[in-house]
Structure 1
Amino acid sequence: METGKNGLKRSMGVMTGISVVIGTVVGSGIFFKQGQVLETAGGTTAGLAAWIVGGLITLAGGLTLSEVGSRIPETGGIYIYMKKLYGEFVGFLTGWTQVAIYAPAIIASVSAYFAELFADFFNISTHWVPTIGILTLLLITAMNSLDNRIAGAFQVTTTTIKLIPIFALVIFGIFFGKADALGQTVHHMTATTSGNFGLAILATLFAYDGWATLANLGGELKNPRRNLPRAIIGGLLIVILVYVGVTYGIYRAVPANQIVSLDNEVPYTVARQAFGELGGKLLAIGILVSMAGTLNGKMLAFPRMVYAMANEGVLPSYLKKTNRAQAPITALWTTAVLAAILIVMSGADWLSDMAVFVIWLFYAATFFGVFILRLRDKKAAVKPNELLFQVPLYPIMPIVAIGGALFVLINTLIASFSMVLISFIFVAIGIPVYYYYKRKRH
């Protein structure tokens, strides 16, 4: 079995990579964001366009990051990319933000959502939701502590299963829906919305988030220069088709105003129309499988970044320990413990929203990195490796990706200045941590 220089096993193929992308992106957002996007857009035509534009911006980002990842095929994702591009200090703040805020908050949110749906499906008291969430997280973490082929196989399986209810929604809506998918207008919008197409795109970009976590597994992919771009691009194309297909199917099955009023109940309404009460239950099971796959994908990817930082000597050395299966065992369980704490605390959803804003800040800098890397190669007269992926339509595609990132940042700044301020405070806390470990190393 091939082992990378980082000590982790290169055993994941392109299909596992695609499954990680799909699994970490397609969770609850596609099912529960329909009403919000439609209401914000103001109509079905604009709503569907928002999902398409959001997908294209995300794809531009994926293509751009694929070239960066192809040039820097190492474990650690954008932490390593930012370090190679902008130096150790910026790289550390990137990793710190993900380790301390982004990863634990998002893992906690997915676990909590899973627990809520699980409790509702089995008529369990909501009092047990935190316990269910933590137990689910511990089970997924335990599985990831074994050979990474086991977690990879689970990812492929759950990704396949989660597509079943999605295709059912699409097929029923398209062939049996009676509403007009395009041209409907939402007549009863809240006071905070006014048919703002830009904010509707922003909502879809949050739903598309998570695709870049595959970059954390660069050191465990077979032939990462070739397979990382293939997995990111292939996975994102499938995600875009899924999101647009589900949206079109729902618009065909349920009138626009009813979608807004039903909010989170939209998928169940469509399933009941198609298959009765049994359909609603089957869809709930499909969503539970979807969330389990999403949680597994994040636990598969995020701890690798913690491991990479510890390996660099900028986090406690115990975090770089691996077990017999060559899994980053201490990084895995430390991430799980931080997420478990957030499950118990209130405001985990708010923390995840804050984390998404911060990660897009680093996305923008990473996208710009493709210009830096090409300039470096040009100055050094380095010819592109035959296995090196190069983003198509350069420089247009990276510019679109950077523009999409700036769009997220500016709109979030306008919509929630206090959250942005707190985000930067959390990032700033990493500064003394960085200098502590820098002094310790020297």
Structure 2
Amino acid sequence: MKKQTSQADVSLNRSLGLWSALALVVGTIIGVGIFVRQAAVINDAGSAKAALFAWLAGGLLTLAAGLTIAEIASQIPSTGGLYAYMEAIYNKFWGFLSGWMQIIVYGPAMIAALGSYLAILVLDFFHLPSFWTLPIALGSIILVGILNIFPNRYGGAFAIITTICKLVPVAALIIFGLFFGHADAFSQSVGDLHTTAGGFGVAMLATLFAFDGWILVANLGGEIKNPKKMLPRAISLGIMLVMVIYLLVSYGVLKSIGPAKIHELGTTAIPYIANQDFGVWGGKALSIGIIISIIGCMNGKIMTFPRIMYAMAEEKQLPGSKWLSYLNPKTRTPVFAIIATLIIAGLMICFTNPDRISELCIFTVYCFYVMAFVGVFLLRKRNPNQVRVFSVPLFPFTPIVAILGSLFVIISEITSDPIGVLVSLSIVAIGIPVYYFKVMRPRQATK
């Protein structure tokens, strides 16, 4: 008789190498932000030079954050990423709240927002009626979710393929702007066109939304080969690559049509460039590249966020933990955690504005980021003699930059959107009674 595999014998498949991890970092960051945030950045910065500096500042802050987390990841290479780090550095309560926020709202909202935006682009590309918006948005997240129910090597391979594909339109924008751009971009400003510029700080904040997602590969710590070495490499190399790409794309776009035209066109600036510079068919090819970019970004998020849910369920911290911690014996993937994430995302697509919700959660994400960055100092103090596989360069300057930059984001959010901040904190606060009933009360009952 064939011996049945018990759930206790099933573990996550540690099969992802450096290229898969690097593709997930790049693919999860480069989604739609670089294509639609050009106008927002130039409007707030006020000039081409200031806009480029804003992209550079956002990239350097993200790099400082990534290098800081890379040191933590090398010491705590566990599935769950930020959730695992917060629990190990502080306690179960803070770990739970960081995970709760990500699995209940932030992760599903990001997936739902990508599905909604993908539907808009597909409708525009095929000239379909608006009736198809909801079915396409839901269908896209379901199809990518099904892919991730298979062994993780398929999701990893898909990440590599979509990352390569999404770099084609990026390369086209860069090359054309550098070599064929004719706009005198750096002698223009948009200050005389509008009076609502938010300034350099707000412009930098706009770039950080486009850089978001760099930490998600850490959620796969239990599935990456030699994570103590691979995670720091993937995070640091991935962020540096994206920073260079974003700077070159922004420069290319500015050289192509100039800041005044970008201000006028808003989020349609890049489609305009595609049709103007590459013709109708070139514009369509670029649109396909952007669609693939969104699908790749969605794949990275669907691959990573359910791992947080799985890790929390493993600790019996969630309702339905028995199911949410289930791993399929053949594929070794958290099937029900993936399904639960997709259900929440689908409900958001149907009944809410997921893009707005994901923006609201940026505030709470950065609150936990600050705590994680401080954790580097705490870990070094606790374990002064520990041999580190990876040490953050220029310590303590780099983590201090990450902390100060994150505090800037938090303060900017409080001053610009106090109502949104209260909503964000309320979402996190809902997790407190769940923590009490699922974690604290069972402990008290066993005493």
Q: TM-score, normalised by structure 2?
A: 0.95
Residues 238-253 of structure 1: matches in 2 within 5 Å? Answer: 238-253=241-256
* Matching of residue 214 in structure 1 with residue 217 in structure 2: yes
- Indicate the percent of aligned positions where both proteins have the same amino acid: 45
Q: Does the 8 Å CA contact 2:48/2:186 hold for their aligned counterparts?
A: yes
1:14-69: CA deviation from partner (whole Å, max 9, x where unpaired):
11111101111101110000001001000000000000010000000000000011
Kindly provide the amino acid, as one letter, of the partner of residue 228 in structure 1. L
- Are residues 1:264 and 2:267 paired? yes
Contact 2:191–2:197 (CA under 8 A) maintained in structure 1: no
- Match of residue 361, structure 1, among 353, 358, 367: 367
Query: Residue 42 of structure 1 contacts residue 189 of structure 1 at CA under 8 Å; is this kept in 2?
Result: no
Q: Distance in 2 between matches of 1:403 and 1:184?
A: 31
User: Is 1:92–1:434's contact at 8 Å kept on the other side of the alignment?
Assistant: yes
After superposition, the Cα gap between the structure-2 partners of 1:365 and 1:11, relative to the gap in structure 1 and judged at 3 Å, is same
Quote the Cα distance in structure 2 between the aligned partners of 1:267 and 1:53: 22
Structure 1 residue 189 displacement after superposition: 4.4
Alpha-carbon RMSD: 1.3
1:440 corresponds to:
442
CA distance, structure 2, for counterparts of residue 149 and residue 364 of structure 1:
33
Question: SS at 2:162's partner residue?
Answer: helix
The reply to whether residue 327 of structure 1 matches residue 333 of structure 2 is yes
**For the residues of structure 2 that align with 1:398 and 1:151, how far apart are their CA atoms?**
32
- Equivalent residue in structure 2 for 1:115, among 116, 119, 127: 119
Partner of 2:417: 416
The equivalent of 1:426 in structure 2 is 427
1:145 equivalent in alignment to 2:146? no
- TM-score, normalization: structure 1? 0.96
Distance in 2 between the 1:419 and 1:34 partners?
A: 24
**1:204-231 CA-partner distances (Å, limit 9, x unpaired):** 0111000000110111000000000010
2:230 to 221, 227, 241: 227
2:297 equivalent in structure 1: 294
* Change over 3 Å in CA distance of 1:6–1:206 after alignment to 2: farther
Tell me which residue corresponds to 2:353: 347
- Unmatched 5+ residue regions in structure 1? none
Instruction: Judge conservation of contact 1:6–1:75 (CA < 8 Å) in 2.
Output: no
Distance 1:114 1:89 in 2: 36
- CA distance 1:234–1:187, change in 2 (3 Å): same
Task: Report the counterpart of residue 84 of structure 1 in structure 2.
Answer: 88
CA distance in structure 2 between the partners assigned to 1:155 and 1:42 by the alignment: 36
Give the Cα–Cα distance (whole angstroms) in 1 for the partners of residues 142 and 241 of structure 2: 29
Partner of 2:47 in structure 1?
A: 43
User: Which one of 96, 100, 103 corresponds to residue 100 of structure 2?
Assistant: 96
Q: Distance in 2 between matches of 1:346 and 1:363?
A: 26
Of 136, 142, 154, which aligns to 2:140? 136
CA contact (8 A) 2:373 2:402 kept: yes
Q: CA deviation at 1:103?
A: 0.4
> How far did residue 6 of structure 1 move?
8.4
Once the two structures are superposed, residues 225-250 of structure 1 have per-residue CA deviations (whole angstroms, 9 ceiling, x without a partner) of 00000100111111001100000000
Q: 1:69 aligns with which of 47, 67, 73?
A: 73
- Listed one character per residue, the Cα deviations across residues 373-415 of structure 1 (whole Å, up to 9, x for unaligned) are 000012xxx3314xx1100000000000001110110001000
Pairwise CA distance, 1:346: 3.0
- Deviations 1:277-332, CA, capped at 9 Å, x for gaps: 11110110000000000000001110001000000110132100011200010000
Q: State the partner residue of 2:170.
A: 166
Q: Which amino acid aligns with 2:156?
A: G
Report the Cα distance in structure 2 between the residues aligned to 1:440 and 1:300, rounded to whole angstroms.
31
What is the deviation of 1:179?
1.2
1:254 alignment partner, SS class: helix
Offset at residue 183 of structure 1 (A): 3.4
- Mapped to 2, the partners of 1:5 and 1:180 lie a distance apart of 64
Instruction: Give 1:428 shift.
Output: 0.6
CA distance in 2, matches of 1:52, 1:5: 47
Distance in 2 separating the partners of 1:183 and 1:63: 35
After superposition, give the CA deviation of every residue in 1:52-91 in whole Å (9 maximum; x if it has no partner).
0100000000000000111101100000000011101111
CA contact 1:25–1:208 (8 Å) conserved in 2: yes
The runs of at least 4 consecutive aligned structure 1 residues that moved more than 4 Å come to none
Secondary structure of 1:219 counterpart: helix
Q: Which moved more, 1:210-219 or 1:181-190?
A: 181-190
Local SS of the residue matching 1:391: coil
Structure 1 SS opposite 2:187: coil
CA–CA distance in structure 2, aligned partners of residues 5 and 187 of structure 1: 63
How far 1:191 sits from its partner (Å)? Answer: 4.2
1:30 and 1:167 map into 2 onto residues whose CA distance is 13
> Is residue 112–residue 354 contact of structure 2 (8 Å, CA) maintained in 1?
yes
**Kept in 1: contact 2:82–2:372 (CA 8 A):** yes
Match of 1:58 among 37, 62, 71: 62
1:273 to 276, 298, 301: 276
Cα distance in 2, alignment partners of residues 182 and 83 from structure 1: 48
